[in-house]
Structure 1
């Protein structure tokens, strides 16, 4: 088997070029036998390019590069052609195509796609918040949340919290059980950001039975009985009436649908 050496040259971390090279190599050598892929990241000037070209000559390597600055791309191409080194420019043709299509000049700034902006950190913070204040674990989070969800067990509070977190909303949720008094913080929350999730007795009965069976338990437990569900829903109605919050029927709604309703209400109230 013939040896294959590929140099991935980038003015950023080189992740894009490396992944493309691996995808292509895997079509010939899925286990990457007799193959060397070497990254040269953070290339900043022509001297760096000259050094890489020298090594490529010695090791008979192909050069694959992702350079956003046109001058550096041209210098790399000229250097490779001068030394008869095989090369592939992954970004240049695409950047040129976009430039002609939209009539705009590229920024030529390395690493833009990898920069972690404020929006990214807001998403991470929201996801961590949803985990920390899930299922009423810490009622202090209710007053810090952008959205508060209340409902009986198995009304999609947790998946809905996570979905909204990925949309950058800090969400806390509280399960309502007749035998347990809701935290006092719940009644201090702005009703405009609180949402009660309600579901039909029949639907919840099916969901809870499936849950019990998934846990290896008997599906006729009181948890899934219609009488118990109706008792819980009655308690739910009393609590949400006291809060004065909106109520969303999630009986036949996907998590995404419910989330869209909540986001629309929240944005309109701002």
Structure 2
């Protein structure tokens, strides 16, 4: 069985108690993984590893997954709509004394009580290819074609245009937002290239500019050059970086772009601020 494993360690001290959190989902399990990732950050005194088991969409796959729960002190959280699948997890975990939690059961029970109707437990609906799915695929293709100043002639087709100097997390943020269904382009600016004239031809309300603390940017650039075996240059010279950041911020203000400082912030936090500043609704 193909099984995608995603492991995340919270804390690295060997003295911490190790646990392995198994996330079993009938579909991609993206939401379940996000919820678990948030939850484990609140337990700094343990070493928590997350192992994801997506697309466990029949009882045979589920049994095989349960038979091969690796890691120390396993814990199971599942998002399985089938009542038979829920029973199998409960049976197996109780027999092996593995703590388990049904992430969908309480929500389905709550909604059933509210509307006075039982859930269909139809797994096929989790895999339904609909317009929203197609939009996400198109958005991700658009992002790849408009990364790092590519695709400037079709820049106006973007929902969001991210502008910034080199190494301010433009590309990762672009890919994250595109996975949410937004057509995102990012445009790199530098003292050598300036601002492409295409930026002046699109709706300014689509544009957001990134900045960061110069010292932090200098460190990131220096590490990149070192990793690539390239000698230091103006690119990672602190005084040049300070000037570059200051001049770019002045131009952002002149153009009326909303500015986001990405220093020490996660991609999710930055993406949320973009949506807020551009008054965009989640997709």
> Looking at CA atoms only, which structure, 1 or 2, has the larger radius of gyration?
1
Distance in 2, matches of 1:198 and 1:260, equals 16
Give the 3-state SS of the residue equivalent to 1:155 in structure 2: coil
**Partner of 1:20 in structure 2?**
62
8 Å contact from structure 1 (residues 152, 175) kept in 2:
yes
**Partner of 1:167 in structure 2?**
180
Give the 3-state SS of the residue equivalent to 2:273 in structure 1: helix
The TM-score with structure 2 as length reference comes to 0.60
Compute the displacement of 1:67 (Å): 11
Compute the displacement of 1:105 (Å): 2.7
**Partner of 1:267 in structure 2?**
279
Provide, for residues 114-158 of structure 1, a one-character-per-residue CA deviation record: whole Å limited to 9, x for no partner: 111222222222111111100001102320111111110001000
**Partner of 2:135 in structure 1?**
122
Asked if 1:177 corresponds to 2:219, the answer is no
Q: 1:217 aligns with which of 192, 208, 230?
A: 230
Distance in 2, matches of 1:168 and 1:206, equals 33
Alignment of structure 1 residues 33-112 onto 2, 5 Å: 89-90=84-85, 102=113, 103-107=116-120, 111-112=124-125
Distance in 2, matches of 1:121 and 1:268, equals 19
The TM-score with structure 1 as length reference comes to 0.63
Provide, for residues 231-257 of structure 1, a one-character-per-residue CA deviation record: whole Å limited to 9, x for no partner: 422442354245321111122322221
Cα RMSD after superposing both structures: 3.4
C-alpha spacing 1:15/1:184, structure 2 compared with 1 (3 Å): same
Asked if 1:246 corresponds to 2:274, the answer is no
- Which 5+ residue runs of structure 2 have no aligned equivalent? 1-54, 70-79, 89-101
Q: Is the helix fraction higher in 1 or 2?
A: 1
Give the 3-state SS of the residue equivalent to 1:267 in structure 2: coil
- Count, aligned residues: 200
- Which 5+ residue runs of structure 1 have no aligned equivalent? 1-12, 28-65, 71-88
Asked if 1:196 corresponds to 2:238, the answer is no
**Partner of 1:74 in structure 2?**
none
C-alpha spacing 1:96/1:182, structure 2 compared with 1 (3 Å): closer
184-193 or 239-248: bigger deviation: 239-248
8 Å contact from structure 1 (residues 67, 92) kept in 2:
no
Provide, for residues 23-44 of structure 1, a one-character-per-residue CA deviation record: whole Å limited to 9, x for no partner: 24557xxxxxxxxxxxxxxxxx
Distance in 1, matches of 2:68 and 2:260, equals 50
Q: 1:205 aligns with which of 215, 218, 222?
A: 218
